[in-house]
């Protein structure tokens, strides 16, 4: 093995170790300054060729009826669906309203479905988010909370970052620090590869303002545990 190949192997091993150790670098999604210079159509065209190259490198026959449309489908899925939350134009408008009915207790939206993608292996993260806030004079539509979770989930993610981003977005929209989020999710990079532990899940939390107080935090966690009957 020559020096160059040894250096490459060490570099790749270091990158792999970072991914396995679940390292995150910032609460902001790492984006280049030119991230949105290309249109979605241009990105799809480029990604299509990249996916085609990957599949051909793996030895797949793209003339087969079942495979020939895969590069285009994957490219469109990346740009329009599972990574659609990267584009700021898709950020949900978090319209708020005056709290005219003077509701001063905690509001909890639990069991919000999370579909995201691990940025270390580009494999799915699937779970539930539980979000709460205490109004300081403003309230937000319930569906907007779901949309905020979905927006930040639709990008390559680290679960810790996703949890923080949801809280920060709601704090900004509601003009209050009193926001909390807990996410419980399965990572297919753990469940389907590597250690292949199909039963484990990851729980992350972010507590702001009054939710840092033990009693308030306990109340929120108790609400999450409550059964919902219809």
Question: Which residue numbers in the chain have pLDDT < 50?
Answer: 1-3, 5, 8, 11-12
Q: What is the pLDDT of residue 227?
A: 81
How many angstroms separate the CA atoms of 212 and 169, rounded?
A: 18
Phi and psi of 87, rounded to 5°?
-85, 125
How many angstroms separate the CA atoms of 133 and 96, rounded?
A: 13
How many angstroms separate the CA atoms of 3 and 71, rounded?
A: 36
pTM: 0.87
pLDDT in tens, 167-200: 999 999 999 999 999 999 999 999 999 889 999 9
Question: Domain-by-domain residue ranges, the chain?
Answer: 36-82, 95-225
| Tokens 């297919």 belong to residue | 188
Is 36-82 in CATH node 1.10.10.10?
no
- The DSSP output letter for 102 is -
Q: Has 187 been annotated as catalytic?
A: yes
Q: What is the pLDDT of residue 94?
A: 82
Q: Which of the following is catalytic: 109, 120, 165, 181? A: 120
Q: Which of the following is catalytic: 165, 181, 187, 206? A: 187
Q: What is the pLDDT of residue 100?
A: 86
Distance of CA 166 to the CA centre of its chain: 9
36-82 matches 95-225 in fold: no
Q: What is the pLDDT of residue 219?
A: 97
Q: Which of the following is catalytic: 130, 165, 189, 206? A: 189
Q: What is the pLDDT of residue 118?
A: 97
Q: Which of the following is catalytic: 159, 165, 181, 206? A: 159
Q: Which of the following is catalytic: 119, 169, 181, 206? A: 119
Q: What is the pLDDT of residue 4?
A: 53
Q: Are 209 and 134 in contact (CB under 8 A)?
A: yes
Q: Has 17 been annotated as catalytic?
A: no
Q: Has 181 been annotated as catalytic?
A: no
Neighbours of 135 (CB within 10 A): 21
Q: Has 120 been annotated as catalytic?
A: yes
Q: Which of the following is catalytic: 109, 118, 130, 165? A: 118
How many angstroms separate the CA atoms of 115 and 186, rounded?
A: 10
Q: Has 159 been annotated as catalytic?
A: yes
The class that CATH gives domain 95-225 is: alpha beta
How many angstroms separate the CA atoms of 138 and 98, rounded?
A: 5
């Amino acid at each position: 093995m020559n020096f160059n190949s040894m250096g490459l192997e060490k570099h790749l091993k270091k990158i792999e170790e970072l991914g396995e150790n679940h390292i995150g670098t910032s609460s902001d999604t790492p984006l280049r300054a030119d991230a949105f210079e290309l249109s979605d159509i241009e990105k799809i065209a480029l990604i299509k060729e990249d996916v085609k190259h990957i599949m051909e490198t793996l030895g797949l026959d793209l003339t087969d009826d079942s495979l020939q449309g895969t590069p285009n489908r994957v490219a469109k899925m990346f740009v329009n669906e599972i990574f659609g939350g990267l584009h700021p134009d898709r950020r949900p408008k978090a319209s708020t309203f005056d709290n005219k009915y003077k509701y001063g207790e905690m509001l909890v939206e639990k069991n919000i479905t999370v579909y995201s993608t691990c940025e270390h292996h580009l494999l799915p993260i699937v779970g539930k988010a539980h979000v709460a806030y205490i109004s300081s004079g403003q309230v937000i539509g319930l569906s907007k909370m779901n949309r905020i979770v979905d927006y930040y989930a639709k990008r390559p993610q680290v679960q810790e970052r996703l949890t923080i981003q949801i809280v920060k977005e709601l704090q900004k929209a509601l003009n209050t620090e009193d926001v909390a989020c807990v996410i419980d999710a399965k990572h297919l990079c753990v469940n389907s590869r590597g250690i292949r532990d199909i039963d484990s899940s990851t729980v992350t939390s972010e507590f702001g303002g009054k939710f840092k107080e033990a009693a308030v935090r306990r109340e929120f966690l108790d609400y999450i545990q409550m059964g919902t009957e219809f």
